[in-house]
Amino acid sequence: MTRLIPAALAAALAVAACAQHERVGGDTRVDSVGQADRADSASASRTRPALPHVELTEQLMFKLMMAEVALQRGQPQIAIPAFLELARETRDPRLARRATEAAWTARYTDAALEAAGLWLQTDPGSARARQVLAALLVNEKQLDAARKHFEQWLASDRENVGQNFLQLSTLLSRNTDHKSVFELMRSLAQPYQKVPEARLAVAQAAWNAGNESVALSEASAALKLRPDWELAALFQAQALQRRSNDEALAFLGEYLKAHPQAKDTRLNYARLLVTAKRYPEARKQFDALLEQFPGNPDVAMAVALLAIQANDLPNAEKQLQHALESGYGEPDVARVYLGQISEEQQRYDEALKWYGSVEPGEQYINAQARYAGVLAKEGRLGDARKHLQQVSTQDAQQRVQLTQAEAQLLRDANDYQGAFDLLGQSLQKMPDNPDLLYDYAMAAEKVNKVDVLERSLRKLIELRPDHAHAYNALGYTFADRNERLPEAYGLIEQALKLSPNDAFIMDSMGWVLFRMGRNQEATDYLQRAYNTRPDGDIAAHLGEVLWAQGRQDEARRLWADALKENAQNEALQNAIKRHAPVSLPVAR
């Protein structure tokens, strides 16, 4: 207990040092509390708020000290009510800000909203207070209440209105009511039609709301206002790509003619050429990038990743080595990729060397999981599991990641029961871990324990209502078994609202619509999913629906193309065996 006394005294002294007395009309007031910025984000030179006349009594000093000490001791349930009470009593904007920051950090949403409201009331000229209050309202999905604060923030800082629109776009993108966000953003941008950032913000909101035509027109308007703006060009290419890769490629090619030094645009152009399997053209873009930016490790790394995607592994390996030698800022990332290339070419000793050279940090757990994977490929499953179990971890989440990796090794060895048991044992120790719950549910499906799958996913949804893949997995399970279809549709619909551009969720929606007999709608979703991600499972589903519509030749062509990249996909093979075993070869 004596060790806590100096900390408490230090906290009290810190608060006392921050409270400098100023004589105003014979009264004493608090001049500074906490570490609130003196410069407001809207204007560093704005008029300072009028501070209340508050006497620094012993009682006030005691409450301040108690709140600060409680916060330092990790007792927000004591600190936050105390800060709020002080803010209400004193009407001091600095105390209101302190209460807001403490409540927001501790996720006391109601208290943070009240404190932020007090902060703005006591300092109505503070753009920072207005931004924080608006952000809290957005988090609580109170968009109408946030609107007036956004309008005033934008109007009060016209010099930075473009940057503020970009910040606003990022903030609002977290809200899942995409249609309401789009309407709000379009309304906010109306007075700023000559600001390119405002037009792009509307384009992004329209894109998230599924309004493709507005997204394209607003992105085009942003580019007309600022022709050399790469961000707008890249967004327009992304929007065009949803309609057609060829349209996106044509647009990027023309943009590069006018702006040949646009590095990010050329990288994305090369990436799209790789996606379209136009490898010779992509290689020309690689060479142009390396010629324009010689010795640039970031460019070397980007070209290496594109070369991996194009399956040009010798060039990828060369560029990864070059990135390392040139001082690439994240060398462990390069080492992991070099390990993957060695592993892909069955140079297992080299792969183990690269993975083993990764130092503790962001890539460490991934490298250890891959190290174990190589051991398993060498027929040393026992050594692989032992390796994962002996890796030192910094926290519980890293241990979860290693458990997931071990379960994957068991699945790869077709030991589905072993994977199910392992995840179940880990879940007993951490019953509310979202990652373990999801993997356990997927393992339960493999051992035909649908009741366990449903129970685990419903618990995950309860813990994480925004977990799109939990809704999707449960809905798809029902749809694939052709049961509880209305419920399956509702679950997948919710997943799609949370993640509208996810190809696998679009695939699930197509599949449940097919099960419900709505074949044309199913085709639309599945075609869009396949265009976004040409995955074997999606190809299998799309072909099934085409076949059911009497479009057998289209289905055969689709499956033939999909087999080239997904020869071992089980769902694709099964679809072909059912419908076209003679017409199409099935991979052994």
Q: Tell me the pLDDT tens digit for each residue of 185-202.
A: 999 999 999 999 999 999
The stretches of 357-433 forming alpha helices (DSSP H) are 364-377, 381-390, 396-412, 416-429
- Among the residue ranges 240-249, 368-377, 497-506, the one predicted with the least confidence is 240-249
Q: Could you tell me the pLDDT band of residue 17, with boundaries at 50, 70 and 90?
A: very low
Between the ranges 62-66, 114-118, 170-174, 511-515, where is the mean pLDDT highest?
511-515
Report the pLDDT value the prediction gives residue 483, as an integer from 0 to 100.
95
Cα angle, residue 468 at apex, residues 465 and 474 outer, rounded to 5°: 95
Percent of the chain with pLDDT over 70: 89
The pLDDT value given to residue 582: 54
State pLDDT tens for residues 149-182.
788 888 888 888 999 899 888 888 877 888 888 9
The answer to the question of residue 351 being in a domain is: no
Is residue 353 assigned to a domain? no
Rounded CA gap, 49 and 129, in Å? 12
Asked if residue 18 has pLDDT above 50, the reply is no
Q: Let me know if residue 548 belongs to a domain.
A: no
Most confidently modeled range among 34-38, 292-296, 556-560 = 556-560
Q: Are 372 and 385 in contact (CB under 8 A)?
A: yes
Residue 273 clears pLDDT 70, i.e. is over it: yes
Mean pLDDT, residues 217-232 taken together: 95
Residue that has been written with the tokens 């050429």 in this structure: 273
Containing structural domain, residue 30: 1-34+51-124
pLDDT given for residue 23 in this prediction = 28
Position 583 scores a pLDDT of 57
Task: Determine the average pLDDT of the residues in 11-30.
Answer: 34
Q: Say how far apart CA 259 and CA 263 lie, in whole Å.
A: 9
- pLDDT at residue 32 above 80? no
Contact (Cβ atoms closer than 8 angstroms) between residue 92 and residue 52 = yes
Give me the pLDDT at residue 45, please.
45
* Predicted pLDDT at 338: 97
Sorting pLDDT into bands at 50, 70 and 90, what band is 49? low
Of the listed ranges 211-220, 398-407, 498-507, 563-572, the one predicted with least confidence: 563-572
Flag whether 2 is in a domain.
Answer: yes
Is a pLDDT exceeding 80 seen at residue 494? yes
Sign of CA dihedral 378, 383, 388, 390: negative
Q: How many domains does the chain have?
A: 1
DSSP result, 406-424 = HHHHHHHTT-HHHHHHHHH
Task: Tell me the Ramachandran region of residue 107: left when phi exceeds 0, alpha when psi lies from -120 to 50, beta otherwise.
Answer: left
Show the CA angle centred on residue 150, arms to residues 144 and 156, nearest 5°: 150
556 touches 537 (CB < 8 A): no
Instruction: List Cβ neighbours of 143 (8 Å cut-off, separation of 6 or more).
Output: 137, 175, 177, 180, 181, 184
Residue 291 lies in a domain: no
Least confident of 15-29, 45-59, 192-206, 238-252: 15-29
- Inform me whether the pLDDT recorded for 6 exceeds 70: no
Contact (Cβ atoms closer than 8 angstroms) between residue 510 and residue 523: yes
**Tokens at 179, concatenated:** 């249609």
Q: pLDDT (tens digit, 9 = 90+) per residue, 99-149? A: 888 888 888 888 888 788 788 778 787 778 777 877 887 777 778 777 887
Question: Greater confidence, 170 or 449?
Answer: 449
Tell me what pLDDT residue 28 has: 32
Q: If DSSP codes are grouped into helix, strand and coil, which group holds residue 29?
A: strand
What's the chain's average pLDDT?
86
Q: How confident is the model at residue 100, as a pLDDT?
A: 85
Task: Decide which of 279 and 477 is more confident.
Answer: 477
Q: How far apart are CA 446 and CA 432, in angstroms?
A: 22
H/E element, 112: helix 109-122
> Rounded CA gap, 106 and 517, in Å?
49
Q: How far is CA 408 from CA 381, 400, 403, 418, 422, in A?
A: 11, 12, 9, 10, 10
In a domain, 354, yes or no: no
Residue 12 lies in a domain: yes
Mean pLDDT for the stretch of residues 528-547: 94
Q: What is the pLDDT of residue 469?
A: 97
Instruction: Find all residues with CB under 8 Å of 551, minimum gap 6, and list them.
Output: none
Residue 557: strand, helix, or coil:
helix
Answer whether residue 57 shows pLDDT above 50.
yes
* Average pLDDT rounded to a whole number, residues 213-226: 94
Domain annotation covers residue 58: yes
- 259 by Cβ neighbours in 10 Å (0-12 / 13-18 / 19+) ranks as middle
**Model confidence pTM above 0.85:** no
Which segment of 4-13, 263-272, 314-323, 519-528 scores lowest on mean pLDDT? 4-13
Q: Which residue has the higher pLDDT, 514 or 143?
A: 514
Query: Residue 534: pLDDT above 70?
Result: yes
Read off φ and ψ for residue 277, nearest 5 degrees: 65, 30
Cβ(46)–Cβ(40) below 8 Å: yes
Whose CA is closest to 290, among 556, 100, 234, 282?
282
pLDDT of residue 216: 93
